[in-house]
Amino acid sequence: MRAILHYTGMLVLALAAMMVIPFLVAVFSAEWDPALDYLCGAGVTAAVGALLAQAAPRGAPINRRDALLITALAWLAASLAGAVPLALSGHWGSYLDACFEAMSGITTSGLVLVQDLDHLANAHNVWRHLMQLMGGQGIVVAALTVALGVRGGGAMSLYMAEGRDERIMPNVLHTARFIWLVTAVYVALGIVSLTIVNLVSGMEPARSVLHAFCNTAACWDTGGFGPQSQNSLYYHSAVYEAITVILMIAGTFNFNLHAHIWRGERMEMFKNIEARTMAINTLVFSMLVGLGLASTSLYSESGEIVRKGIYHLLSASSGTGQQSLYAAQWTNGFGDLAFVAILLAMAFGGMASSTAGGIKAFRIGVTVKGLIWRVRQSLAPQSAMISGSYHHFSKAPINAEILSSAFLITLLYTFTYITGGIIGMMYGYAPAEALFESISATANVGLSTGVTSPAMPVGLKLVYIVQMWAGRLEFLALFTLVASAIAAIRDRRRSA
């Protein structure tokens, strides 16, 4: 337990250090009240982190269970700490609302409870998007990149506890650094490109850079936040949409796939089961969205139907959550067929080991391959040996273990989607809206029909916080935390 507290404290200290960035932005922008918010936030966070870090010496060994507990606690602690400066700003109705926003940020969900976003201080906007940037790569991955002090199997256990199961480089520390290298390249390219677009549109230089950073972080890390309440609708630009779509697609790529492309192994794009599944999903859902929108009056021209339809579909399937329509239009103007396609795209999600959420294309692809394999087995003579395989960076056999793992995670996501939708309906929301919001929260997407708002019930805010947390960590770390808490309570009762 002491090692768990120690490493959780180290992660909290890292978060406190990151608050220096919005503090400097506040000073540069002459935002003195927000500067004080981040001084207070960093002070409180650093004090708590330092206290926890004293529980064990640096480099204390951990096992896989410890890694899962550290990860679950670190993400919860990050949302509690990250909410402090937001709550002090006065733009959130309560500390719970600020915690919701912080959890939404670090899990790259993008659902918002901020009030008067259009007049939010630059420092707070930078912090909101900085949390998405940290959360997209993973809080633990960020800490491993610097110096968490974990070595050997403990480092790998922490890496895998955040829902990643692929070692890209020879060791996990180099893997974490590669992830941040890829991020740095895409973020730099995105900021430069969007800054140029903003300057051409007439935006002043400092504001152009701020918006470019915020939107790059949101799209690359498939986060969904935006510096304006109208989100991407604010820009009314096809060029802006094209650049952000590239960032969305890149953000939903498996980091291992990025590594293969960087090494010149571009054929992996065409052979990989995830890439193929994503391509098929995009093609099928694009057709459904196009047919659905064609039967509505939301967009008058065919070119606009294609542009807006594909933009929102890619935003949904990548888990980005950027939208260029008003929340009410999802149920009142988007059309039933297109609405269902967006629901399924959100639920399926992007690629594994990426910044995207949802069930993941790998599991969808393997499940379909496994189904075909089972059908072939049932049709073949008893003496025949029917084998199945898939390509995921190398050829791998389909077996009962990989199928049961894919099915279990798919079942957990589906159960959570439906449960959240039922709870939303119990609070009085329409079935379509409640299910849409539940999927958006669990798959860490951020698209909203308007259910998510400061006025929604406290119970539903808590439900969505848990869904965002569980979905980002793919359930296992959260289940381990709950099981450990129950076991501790039982042990205490027995000893009493």
Residue 211 vs residue 382, higher pLDDT: 211
Question: What is the structure's pLDDT at 124?
Answer: 97
Domain layout of the chain by residue ranges: 2-250, 268-411
Question: What is the structure's pLDDT at 65?
Answer: 83
Query: Model-level pTM greater than 0.85?
Result: yes
- Check whether 147 has a pLDDT greater than 60: no
Instruction: Give the CB-side neighbour count of residue 85, counting CA atoms within 13 A.
Output: 34
Residue 346 vs residue 6, higher pLDDT: 346
CA distance 78 to 45: 9
Tell me the percentage of the chain whose pLDDT exceeds 70. Answer: 94
| DSSP code at position 234 | G
The burial of 342, by beta-carbon neighbours within 10 Å (0-12 exposed, 13-18 middle, 19 or more buried), is given as buried
Residue 78 vs residue 380, higher pLDDT: 78
Residue 157 vs residue 281, higher pLDDT: 281
Average pLDDT over residues 408-416: 94
CA distance 18 to 198: 27
Rounded to 5°, the CA angle 130-131-137 comes to 95
pLDDT tens-digit series, residues 217-244: 999 999 889 999 999 999 989 999 999 9
Which distant-in-sequence residues (6+ apart) come within 8 Å of 160 by Cβ? 64, 67
The burial of 394, by beta-carbon neighbours within 10 Å (0-12 exposed, 13-18 middle, 19 or more buried), is given as exposed
Question: What is the structure's pLDDT at 489?
Answer: 82
CA distance 496 to 144: 40
Question: What is the structure's pLDDT at 301?
Answer: 86
Question: What is the chain's alpha carbon radius of gyration, rounded to the nearest angstrom?
Answer: 22
Residue 100 vs residue 386, higher pLDDT: 100
CA distance 474 to 472: 6
For 262, other C-beta atoms within 10 Å of its C-beta total 13
CA distance 101 to 146: 26
- Check whether 378 has a pLDDT greater than 90: no
CA distance 2 to 57: 9
pLDDT band at 159 (very low <50, low <70, confident <90, very high): low
Q: Is the dihedral of CA 247, 253, 258, 260 positive or negative?
A: negative
Query: Cα 245 from chain centroid?
Result: 16
H or E element that contains 77: helix 64-89
Question: What is the structure's pLDDT at 491?
Answer: 77
Question: What is the structure's pLDDT at 1?
Answer: 76
